[in-house]
Structure 1
């Protein structure tokens, strides 16, 4: 929809904005088309210029010819302006409605069969303004407005009964001794109904806003939780790598005095101290791992995979129905274990995302080393439209995505790559696919991590 609006010529956009100001179908100035039931209601709601024009002409005719008010154009304009102003400033619109009511109360001479002092156009304006007050302002504002109308109506009835206001009516068509009672009672009932409808709309709107805010907060919390879970998983995997090196240090330092001849007592004591500290560090790491590792975690003690496991991963994804073309170049023999693990995890998460979000798309995965860094590139084409056929063709019991994936996608990739001092680039391709490219340094890694 956004791209369609951007491609429309400027005159059409200007027409949308003009229509949006004339009919209150959306936010002021947004210019959006909303031909729905709410748009139809907006034709008779706050801010509707067509309704205001109808009330302007009808009120002017009624006041000048039926009520014999020569200056009836002034309260007619106030009635029409109240409808338009109710969209922006409902309190000021209410003052205009009351001003028109008072003008009819003291300016009318002969009403014939017409209601007094609340005319039919003023009744519509009254309902629109009360609706706007209940919808856009606090409830007490609408209650005060309705109460002020009720008091004005009671004052009109008292003035009519006390003969302080002389109203000449047709005894045949309007035999009511107090002509104000019927019209004011009808206005009070319909005004209360409009207020309740507006208050219901306000509650519904606030509920939707509250739900949207809670969803936004929940999504933020879910993202933070996924990030922490991925960092915890990375910490568990790094433990195995660090524990391996610490174990080698422990064994070498413990056996140094037996393997190396002509060692002095000071050197032997130094090796014993290194061995004791290494064992102590291993014990602390095991306790830390016990906190990080969940009880139901499967395969947590298996050796961590590297580039050598990529071919098996590609074959598993191909069996799931996603064609994979894997190319692994010549990698250094002394590839750091953290980098090797990151290479495998980046390819694994990229393939898992393809299986989940673009099933059946052709995938090209390249792993190469050059200029002291390892480059991992995974590019998939657009997803196939025959998703249902892929699901039906999948063997019974086979998973919908790679069972080894963490399900954290780009979050996990970015965390792992940044841990190794590398960079990660992700984004859609021109043909509707997706591209993941990670660059991991393998030489001078200390300076890369500091940067």
Structure 2
């Protein structure tokens, strides 16, 4: 007893066999190739047009002009004498096959269409020539040389898919003539197919490598600009956090004085009492807003420093720490500015002028000295350094000068983060002063800052020279 017979396999619908699928794929591939061959790069700039030296920009023109000058007469001579082609026809074919190479510098796809058409017409013309027997056909040696030059121009200009389409079209043209006449064909079409592929691969790889380098350079430029902007914002945020303590102190004094005025001054009218109350309320509201701003500036989670902000009275400690780090540093700081500290020398270049240094200037001067000494330790180890701080009735002058380094600089310290000069520049701009920073002829570095003591408006008068000699 036999089981049930298996169900018959459904037959594929008409037009869905392997041969039909292959034909559909071939048609899609042909449409893609045709679409690529029908387009060209919109940029008409010449090859190497963006190069710096002039001779590099003129090099493609010289190469193709030399090829045309050599190939044109040789092609005419060979077609007439060897292939025994009519002179007028030989001249027309030779011109059409070689002269478009001059166009390949700016529009290689247009030149390729003209040259390929001329080569195909020339191959058909050579079929009826008397001297074709035993010679290269369908492509003459001059055609092969000119076509390879054209492939080089294409590879340096067009995208990869278009190059593949050109290469396939070259092979299809050679295969067509192989089918037309195997009597004259000597395999030169296969040689041109292989050589053109090699030239396209090499030049295309060079083009893509150049584009990758240009993109990398552009990205590095953007990253450097972003890094500089981030450094500037970080320094401004740091300065804002430090100045919060200075401004908050003054606002607290205003609040206390406004609140206590009615109790300290007898016989104040009601209007004056209300005015003092309004001043105290405005000061308290300003303090609240400043605390909120400080919270935003410290959004990175840092708790901030609890110690008071430093000033000129701590510069001697800063210089002493620098000496312990191996840098022979000297300090010239009048006692009137240092608050009578024992670590400073009596400066010979002026006194304090009897005026009190504003807190913002005091803090900025300390930070400038701190950044300058840090740069000396990092970029000029062992260099003799002198710090001089003087003041008159109008401005405070900070001068830090170091000599050439006496020891080797670590490669890790050769390039800094950029925070040093940026921080100095922003602090000087904050106080409305000027900054002069730059290298010295003997290999040292000089930082000079002038900070006004009259509380003038901030001015963009910062003229510094940022070099690799001392900026961090």
TM over 0.5: yes
Determine the C-alpha separation between the residues in 2 that align with 1:136 and 1:322: 57
> What residue in structure 2 maps to residue 440 of structure 1?
451
The answer to whether residue 187 in structure 2 is matched with residue 182 in structure 1 is yes
Q: If the length of structure 2 is used for normalisation, what is the TM-score?
A: 0.68
Determine the C-alpha separation between the residues in 2 that align with 1:29 and 1:258: 79
Structure-2 change in CA distance of 1:83 and 1:419 (3 Å): same
> What residue in structure 2 maps to residue 248 of structure 1?
253
SS in 2 for 1:409: helix
Aligned-pair distance for 1:53?
Answer: 7.4
For residues 329-354 of structure 1, the C-alpha deviation after alignment (integer angstroms, 9 at most, x for no partner) is 53354111111111112222222233
The answer to whether residue 419 in structure 2 is matched with residue 408 in structure 1 is yes
> What residue in structure 2 maps to residue 341 of structure 1?
363
Structure-2 change in CA distance of 1:371 and 1:73 (3 Å): farther
Determine the C-alpha separation between the residues in 1 that align with 2:297 and 2:314: 25
Aligned-pair distance for 1:236?
Answer: 0.6
Q: 2:156 aligns with which of 116, 130, 135?
A: 135
> What residue in structure 2 maps to residue 419 of structure 1?
430
CA contact (8 A) 1:90 1:132 kept: yes
> What residue in structure 2 maps to residue 362 of structure 1?
384
CA contact (8 A) 2:228 2:418 kept: no
CA contact (8 A) 1:420 1:449 kept: no
SS in 2 for 1:386: coil
Determine the C-alpha separation between the residues in 1 that align with 2:63 and 2:269: 96
> What residue in structure 2 maps to residue 166 of structure 1?
none
**Pairwise mapping of residues 310-389 of structure 1 onto structure 2 (< 5 A)?**
310-328=315-333, 329=347, 330-332=351-353, 333-370=355-392, 372-384=394-406, 386-387=408-409
> What residue in structure 2 maps to residue 106 of structure 1?
125
Structure-2 change in CA distance of 1:259 and 1:203 (3 Å): same
> What residue in structure 2 maps to residue 237 of structure 1?
242
Structure-2 change in CA distance of 1:231 and 1:64 (3 Å): same
> What residue in structure 1 maps to residue 13 of structure 2?
none
SS in 2 for 1:110: coil
The answer to whether residue 73 in structure 2 is matched with residue 67 in structure 1 is no
Aligned-pair distance for 1:420?
Answer: 1.2
For residues 104-148 of structure 1, the C-alpha deviation after alignment (integer angstroms, 9 at most, x for no partner) is 652553245432122334324323322321331244553554455
Structure-2 change in CA distance of 1:28 and 1:292 (3 Å): closer
For residues 394-422 of structure 1, the C-alpha deviation after alignment (integer angstroms, 9 at most, x for no partner) is xxxxxx79xxx996122222221111112
CA radius of gyration, larger in: 2
The answer to whether residue 131 in structure 2 is matched with residue 126 in structure 1 is no
Aligned-pair distance for 1:88?
Answer: 4.2
Determine the C-alpha separation between the residues in 1 that align with 2:380 and 2:81: 73
> What residue in structure 1 maps to residue 340 of structure 2?
none
> What residue in structure 2 maps to residue 18 of structure 1?
none
Determine the C-alpha separation between the residues in 2 that align with 1:32 and 1:352: 47
Determine the C-alpha separation between the residues in 2 that align with 1:83 and 1:449: 57
Structure-2 change in CA distance of 1:48 and 1:363 (3 Å): farther
Which blocks of at least 5 consecutive residues in structure 2 are unaligned?
Answer: 1-46, 334-346, 462-472
Aligned-pair distance for 1:186?
Answer: 2.6
Determine the C-alpha separation between the residues in 2 that align with 1:290 and 1:61: 87
SS in 1 for 2:438: strand
Structure-2 change in CA distance of 1:378 and 1:93 (3 Å): farther
CA contact (8 A) 2:134 2:184 kept: no
Moved more, 371-380 or 219-228: 371-380
Structure-2 change in CA distance of 1:53 and 1:381 (3 Å): farther
For residues 360-390 of structure 1, the C-alpha deviation after alignment (integer angstroms, 9 at most, x for no partner) is 33333332224612222333334456235x9
The answer to whether residue 288 in structure 2 is matched with residue 270 in structure 1 is no
CA contact (8 A) 2:98 2:115 kept: no
Q: 2:306 aligns with which of 301, 306, 311?
A: 301
Aligned length: 390
Q: Quote the RMSD (CA, aligned, Å).
A: 4.0
> What residue in structure 2 maps to residue 5 of structure 1?
none
Aligned-pair distance for 1:235?
Answer: 0.9
